[in-house]
Amino acid sequence: MVLFVSRTGRHSQRYDKDRRLVVGCIPYRYRDNELEVLMISSQKGQAMLFPKGGWELDESIKEAALRETLEEAGVVGNIEDQDELGKWSFKSKSRGIYHEGRMFALLVTEQHDVWPEKNLRQRLWMNVDDAREVCKNLWMKEALDKLVDRLTSQAQLHTEE
């Protein structure tokens, strides 16, 4: 059981000049040989997205990505060294300021029934086509495409060996 609460406030979050630094993960798994990704609902609506949030001063970038994913989606897993999917600049819809976002690929190893934001969000495993369709953030769609390209390339390498 997860027994902690989500971090709150922005006083200890990282900024690069005037851009808030946010990090997150695209949690994924294989089910019946099909790639599935885990999406969560936004707190303020029914939009579906991947877990992400502020990178704080006392943690590494990967620690922040893992923390945000556990807090928002209730899953844990493995981020490998090469699993950063990229860096994007985007404007926050709620605050109107620019953020720099980085996303990682997270192979899920455990899914909790109770997690800090369980009462605030819905989570849903879906195939890649459905995820692309419901995701409203262009930069997250680009991260998803990078994940799919990477996993497809890795699978082709394994079949050629």
- Confidence (pLDDT) at 45: 74
The amino acid sitting at 26 is I
Q: Which residues contact 134 (CB under 8 A, 6 or more apart)?
A: 39, 48, 126
Host domain of residue 83: 17-160
Residue 7 lies in a domain: no
Sign of CA dihedral 9, 15, 18, 19: negative
Report yes or no on 37 lying in a domain: yes
Q: Tell me if 121 is assigned to some domain.
A: yes
CATH number at 26 reads 3.90.79.10
Q: How far is CA 5 from the centre of its chain?
A: 18
| pLDDT for the residue 73 | 97
Report if residue 1 sits inside a domain.
no
Closest CA to 105 of 37, 160, 155, 45: 37
The count of structural domains within the chain is: 1
Instruction: List residues bridging with 38 in a β-sheet.
Output: 125
Query: Can you give the pLDDT at residue 98?
Result: 85
Amino acid at 3: L
Does residue 4 sit within a domain? no
User: What pLDDT is stored for residue 72 in this prediction?
Assistant: 96
Q: What is the pLDDT at residue 2?
A: 45
Residue 8 lies in a domain: no
Q: Is 120 exposed, middle or buried (0-12, 13-18, 19+ CB in 10 A)?
A: middle
For residue 4, the model assigns a pLDDT of 58
Q: What is the mean pLDDT of each run of 10 residues along the chain (161 residues)?
A: 50 76 95 95 88 92 96 94 86 77 96 95 96 93 95 68 50
Q: Is residue 102 part of a domain?
A: yes
SS3 15: strand
Q: Is 12 inside any structural domain?
A: no
